[in-house]
Chain A
Amino acid sequence: MKLIRHANQMKLLLPLLGLLALGAPGCQTTNPPVATQPSATVAESKTSAKGGAQLWGDNCMRCHNVRPPSSYSDAEWDVAMHHMRIRANLTVEEHKKILEFLKSAN
């Protein structure tokens, strides 16, 4: 019986994994999501922080909706990003670039 149950579960998992495999090359990334993205002009005008904007979308969205840079002050982002560096296992480079972006876009 257990084998049958597990086989059923795998039947469910396989199409999902297939969807994932098909979706990976077929989709184009446009992080962060439109609904929570700060104004394009802010992001685009800060070309020095472009890598940070991309990393901000990639890393934050992995768990939750991205919060706009205006959610916190620069000093608060310092603290919040240190918290996320530890919790989300961000690399030093990711932490530095995301923080720079958030401050430049604030």
Chain B
Amino acid sequence: MTLKTTSALLIGLLTFGLAGSLSFAQPAATNNYVTREEYEKLLKEVQGLQTQLKAAEEKRAEPSAETEQVLDEMEKKLKEVKSLASAVQPGLTKPLITGYAFAGYTDAHDEVSSINAGFNPIFLWKQGERLFFEGELEVEFEEGEVEVALEYAHASYVLNDYITLGAGKFLAPNNYFMERLHPAWINKLPDKPILMDGDTRLQAHTQLGLQVRGAAPLGPAKVGYALYVSPGPSIRTSGASAGTLRFNNFEVNNNKAFGGRVGFFPIPQLEIGYGFEVAEVGNAGSAFAEVGAVSHALDLNYVRDSRLLHGTVDLRSQIVWLSIDNPNVAPLNFQNDRVGGYVQLAYRPSQIDVPILKNLEAVARFDWLDLPAGAPNNEYTERWTVGLDYWLGASTVLKAAYEFGNREELDAFLLQVAMGF
């Protein structure tokens, strides 16, 4: 006999003894017994209650016709809502419309003051996970005329994690300012640096052709790249702008320009980039057919939100060297090397808890353009711009700036309001 069995027997005997002693202690209760008749009656009542309970449970499990109707209506409504939601979602048929708008005032030295305004809607279509289209219109009112232009229209295809192919008209990848910073709600000053504007500019704003671009992590750092082929610029061969490049994406010869940019991010806040372009710029069949042009660009962009400085520091710079062949044919028979650049520093005390101060941003820019000695209108230009911005929101800004330089005609006062949407 095991210990367990012995314990069980002992517990049973003790229980029996305890029950017996209790019943012995109680007085006799002869009226507490149930008769057979009473037992049968109670049994019937219990069985009846069980039947009623089962019926109630079955009834509850089965939806009524009314409930089914309500459910059907809800399902229909849900389908309608889903349909409406998919109709307004940007995607296959509906583009996402974003963009920016601006209005400005310029009071330049010895010139009549002028007002300009622009509206740049951007249309974005996402066709699945790989195919994408983006287009931007530029509608601008300046000097009494409304100009409408196609800023870019670009289709791209994500080939894999590191390569995206693109075709169409796109912002020039070798020109960091134009590709990333030129929209009025992003540019912290009302105008562009000298080397980006006018006939004497050194780089294109846009390219028309094919591009391949992407990015990849490089250890703790990162690298981004973009390469393109396009018709490239052409050279002006007469007048006051002789020797400058015309960046209108118009084919003047069968040679294509090749260019690109590589950006390196040693730390997340810093990007250092190198851009280049190689092109044949002379009209086919002309005396300048063999003229080539090579440009190199270095850019540095550093943006940091700093607790130490209680705000955001934003440093930008870009320097471009453009070298155009000397054809030894007048009027282009001079050493045609051009260089220009800009350095811009902005500070916004965004961490100071005073609403007016935290929305103010001070900006200073130095830009210059050095033209070749033999070129017409070859004046060296050096300009300073100081500005103050007030941010009404993340993408709405009021700007005021004053410009002065090494010539009186560079003096100007500018105002602008810009909004990204």
* A contact set with B: CB distance below 8 Å: 2, 5-6, 9, 12-13, 16-17, 19-20, 23-24, 26-36, 57-59, 61-68, 71-73, 75-76, 78-80, 82-83, 85-94
Q: Is the CB of B391 within 8 A of A65?
A: yes
Residues of B within 8 A of A17 (CB): 300
Interface centre among B180, B215, B225, B317 (most CB of A within 10 A): B215
B298 to chain A, nearest CB (A): 11
In the assembled complex, which residues on chain A have CB atoms less than 8 Å from the CB atom of B304?
23-24, 27, 29
Chain B residues within an 8 Å CB radius of A30: 305-307, 351
5 contacts between A and B (CB under 8 A): A5-B368, A29-B305, A31-B305, A73-B89, A89-B263
- Asked if A83 contacts B134 (CB within 8 A), the reply is yes
Report A-chain residues with C-beta under 8 Å of the C-beta of B382.
Answer: 5
CB neighbours of B404 from chain A (8 A): none
Interface set of B (CB-CB < 8 Å, partner A): 89-91, 96, 98, 124-126, 132, 134, 156, 161, 164, 166, 171, 179-181, 185-186, 213-217, 222, 224-226, 263, 267-271, 300-309, 311-313, 315, 317, 339, 341, 343, 345, 348, 350-351, 358-359, 366, 368, 370, 380, 382, 391, 394-395, 420
Q: B125, B270, B303: which contacts A61 (Cβ < 8 A)?
A: B303
List 4 additional contacts besides A27-B304, A63-B186; criterion CB under 8 Å. A5-B382, A16-B345, A62-B269, A64-B395
Smallest beta-carbon distance A87→chain B, Å: 7
On chain A, the residues within 8 Å of B395 by CB distance are 64-65, 67
**A27 to B185 Cα, complex, angstroms:** 27
CB atoms of A79 and B96 under 8 A apart? yes
Cα A69 to Cα B228 in complex, Å, equals 33
Whether A34 contacts B186 by the Cβ 8 Å rule is no
A100 to B247, CA, bound (A): 40
| Shortest Cβ distance from residue B38 to the other chain A in the assembled complex, whole angstroms | 66
Task: Kindly state the separation between the CA atoms of A66 and B393 in the bound complex, as whole angstroms.
Answer: 10
- A29-B269 contact in complex given A76-B96, A87-B179, C-beta closer than 8 Å: yes
Kindly state the separation between the CA atoms of A28 and B351 in the bound complex, as whole angstroms. Answer: 13
The answer to whether A90 and B215 touch across the interface, beta carbons within 8 angstroms, is yes
Query: In the docked arrangement, what's the CA distance between A63 and B317, Å?
Result: 13
How far, in angstroms, from A80 to B125 measured CA to CA in the complex?
9
**Residues of chain A contacted by B124 (CB below 8 angstroms):** 79-80, 82-83
User: Chain A residue with minimal CB distance to B420?
Assistant: A64
Which residues from chain B contact A87 at a C-beta distance below 8 Å? Answer: 171, 179-180
Instruction: From known contacts A16-B345, A78-B126, infer whether A5 and B380 are also in contact, taking CB-CB under 8 Å.
Output: yes
In whole angstroms, what is the CA distance A36 to B268 when docked? 19
Chain B residues contacting A26 (CB-CB under 8 Å) are 308
Given A34-B350, A64-B420, A83-B132, answer yes or no on A91-B315 (Cβ-Cβ < 8 Å).
Answer: no
Q: Is the CB of A35 within 8 A of B359?
A: yes
Q: How far is the CA of A28 from the CA of B305 in the complex (A)?
A: 8
Which of chain A's residues have a CB closer than 8 A to the CB of B90? 75-76, 78-79
Please tell me which one of the listed residues B98, B226, B351 contacts residue A80 in the complex, with CB atoms under 8 A apart: B98
Interface centre among A6, A19, A78, A86 (most CB of B within 10 A): A86
- Is A24 a contact partner of B270 (Cβ separation < 8 A)? yes
Contacts of B345 in A (CB 8 A): 16
Q: Out of B89, B268, B315, B350, name the residue touching A75 (CB < 8 Å).
A: B89
Point out the residues of chain A lying under 8 angstroms from B313, CB to CB. 23, 27
How long is the Cα–Cα vector from A32 to B161 in the complex, in angstroms?
26
Q: Report whether B394 and A63 are in contact in the complex, using a CB–CB cutoff of 8 Å.
A: no
Cα distance A68–B213 when bound, in Å? 28
Indicate which residue in A20, A27, A35 contacts B308 across the interface (CB closer than 8 Å): A27
Is B269 a contact of A58 with CB atoms below 8 Å?
A: yes
Instruction: Assess whether A24 is in contact with B267, with CB atoms less than 8 Å apart.
Output: yes
Minimal beta-carbon separation of B306 from chain A (angstroms): 4
